[in-house]
Every structure is written in C-alpha cells, then in structure tokens.
C-alpha cells in the first residue's frame, strides 16, 4: 500500500510526512524514530534534534495524503516504545 504523502502528527503539532512513493505491505509495520539515521525498510527517521513525544502521554494521528484521518494511537505515562 502506498503511504507517500501521509502524515503523523502529535498533539504539539510536530509533523512527519512519509516520502513520495513510500510503500508498506499488508500487515507490515513501520517504526518512526525521532532521531537521525538512514531510512531503511520498516524504519523511518524524523531527523529531530529534540524529543517529539511527551513523556506523560501523547496522541499520534495518522492522516492520508488528502488529509482524512486514517488512525490514531495514544499512550499515557513513560515508556520508550509504543506499538499501535
């Protein structure tokens, strides 16, 4: 499935946009990392110098390229990884 141009936004307004042509397979997952490294299959990097996700909780909103909401994921409390 093509998700190029789709975005993930947190409650503070940080936005990550998937590159044009980015594709994932059915049932596959993508890990969005805050820091900097080379994108590779299943792992993309926001290239931020500071933390994006709030330690006490946050909401990630996944939107299609046309802006419609595709999914949300939220958490509360500290943790280094959340699977949605």
- Residue 82 belongs to some domain of the structure: no
Is 42 contained in some domain?
Answer: yes
Q: DSSP label at 78?
A: -
The tens-digit pLDDT sequence of the chain (84 residues) is 899 999 999 999 999 999 999 999 988 999 999 899 999 989 999 999 888 888 888 999 999 999 999 999 998 876 667 777
Q: State the pTM of this model.
A: 0.85
DSSP state string for 9-69: E-TT--EEEPPTT-B--TT---EEESS----BTTEEE---SS--S-TTEEEEEEE-TTS-E
**47 in any annotated domain:** yes
Can you give the length of the chain in residues?
84
Dihedral-angle region of residue 27 (phi above 0 means left; psi in -120 to 50 means alpha; beta otherwise): left
**Domain count within the chain:** 1
Residue 83 falls inside a structural domain: no
């Amino acid at each position: 499935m093509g998700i190029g141009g789709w975005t993930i936004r947190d409650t503070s307004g940080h936005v990550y946009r998937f590159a044009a042509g980015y594709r994932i397979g059915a049932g596959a997952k993508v890990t969005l990392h805050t820091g900097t490294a080379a994108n590779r299959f299943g792992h993309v990097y926001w290239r931020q110098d500071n933390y994006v996700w709030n330690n006490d909780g946050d909401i990630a909103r996944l939107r299609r390229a046309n802006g419609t909401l595709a999914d949300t994921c939220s958490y509360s409390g500290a943790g280094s990884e959340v699977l949605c």
